[in-house]
Amino acid sequence: MDPMRGVSLKSDENHLAVRRVADRRPHHTSGRFGHRAIRQSPAGADRAARTPGTAPSFNDEDMENLMKKHVPLTVASFAAAAAMSLSGCSGGAEGAGGGSPTLGLVQFSGDDVFSNSALEGAAELAESQGWETITVDAKGSVDGANSAMTNLVTKGVDALIVSVFPSTALGSGIAAAQEAGVPVANWGGGQAEGVKFSSDTGLGDALAEKLVADMGGKGELLALTYPPGLPCQSREASLDQAVEGTDVTVTKQQITIPGAVSSASDATVAWAAAHPQSSTPLAVWACYDDPATGVAAGLKLVDRTDVMSYGLNGTKEAVGLVQSGDLTATLWINGPKQGEDLFTLLQEDLDNGQSSEPQEIGGETEVVDATTVAEFLELHPELR
């Protein structure tokens, strides 16, 4: 077998990576969909309606030292990817065409570190079991996601996992998969006809409740939202529920993608200028950790240590900011394990003739703040 982990070329369109694997680390789990449950939220418990915000247009390049850059592998086109001769991996898996089966993965955005880590969890488990994987970056575009799904089906993938985009917005991509008999799972986008399996990535209640408690139930809050993403919709609903009936005044602003970090930083700086330090509690909440790193950078830029800040997902960057005191708290979610579980569901569905019942999986979570970060990092050294 070729010792290369993957091959890549560059494209000006959708980013796509075709991977092959030689030596994968063994897969460990605590049982089928098992978790070391710190706080197990029931699937769908945080779902509710929300109200869209408004979108700013900002450009700030001061964030580079606060965010790990994600650089996707690419190839020139789907046709080029399909033409590549990929070596098989160990294991007895077999695709519909008789060769190694292929898992198609559609990223929400190459810049979204956490959702990509969930897809990476699925990819690593698939590759360890003899599957090949193809990854496409939809660059935050619903049309791009539908196009990517359709093209992946045309190229003969055996299963698909999409991230973040609401399944209800993926009509043409799902239709192509259904027509070809390709099962689909969605990490963070919910279920729909043609999407049997999904993961609950909202899970925002615990952090929202902590925020309100930290503010003492009063003060001014900037909420950085992203209505097009279902996880952010759910988390915003959790925040709305937590502040209801309190004396917390919420100002909402939609971040831009791509550019979540810089747009969050710019929004934070502008909001902080309009809210000088006083006896009133002040805080900024971001619906996931990438913009939260921008919040931390913006507050540092204007030297505002009086403003509390919050994010969700528990990325390495965010946990590091909690450890340094530049971020008040983040909610860690075991995204890679959710990705593994979704792949396992797809594989089982294929094995039993696609007769599996629909299922939404929950996830292992933990609020990480100054009081818990040291112990958390002892248990999760990969996030140091």
Domains belonging to the chain, first-starting first, are 6-37+70-199+338-352 (3.40.50.2300), 205-334+368-383 (3.40.50.2300)
pLDDT of residue 362: 87
The answer to whether the CB of 247 falls within 8 A of the CB of 221 is no
Return the DSSP state at 192.
Answer: B
Q: 47, 27, 26, 28: which is closest to 362 by C-alpha?
A: 47
- Kindly write down the DSSP assignment for every residue of 91-155, as one continuous string: S----TTSS--EEEEEES-TT-HHHHHHHHHHHHHHHHTT-EEEEEE-TT-HHHHHHHHHHHHHT
pLDDT of residue 113: 86
Whether omega before 258 lies within 30 degrees of 0, making that bond cis, reads yes
pLDDT of residue 96: 60
Q: How far is CA 67 from CA 84, 299, 372, 380, in A?
A: 34, 15, 22, 19
pLDDT of residue 2: 34
Q: 131, 133, 190, 99: which is closest to 347 by C-alpha?
A: 131
Measure the CA–CA gap between 236 and 50, rounded to whole angstroms: 7
Measure the CA–CA gap between 110 and 72, rounded to whole angstroms: 6
Measure the CA–CA gap between 205 and 235, rounded to whole angstroms: 7
pTM of the model: 0.70
337: phi then psi, degrees, rounded to nearest 5: -70, -35
In tens digits, the chain (384 residues) has pLDDT values of 333 333 232 333 444 455 433 333 333 333 333 332 333 333 333 333 333 333 333 333 433 333 333 333 333 333 333 333 333 333 345 666 668 999 999 999 998 888 999 999 999 999 999 999 999 999 999 999 999 999 999 999 999 999 999 999 999 999 999 999 999 999 999 999 999 999 988 789 999 999 999 999 999 999 999 998 888 999 999 999 999 999 999 999 999 988 999 999 999 999 999 999 999 999 999 999 999 999 999 999 999 999 999 999 999 999 999 999 999 999 999 999 999 999 999 999 999 999 999 999 988 999 999 999 999 999 999 999
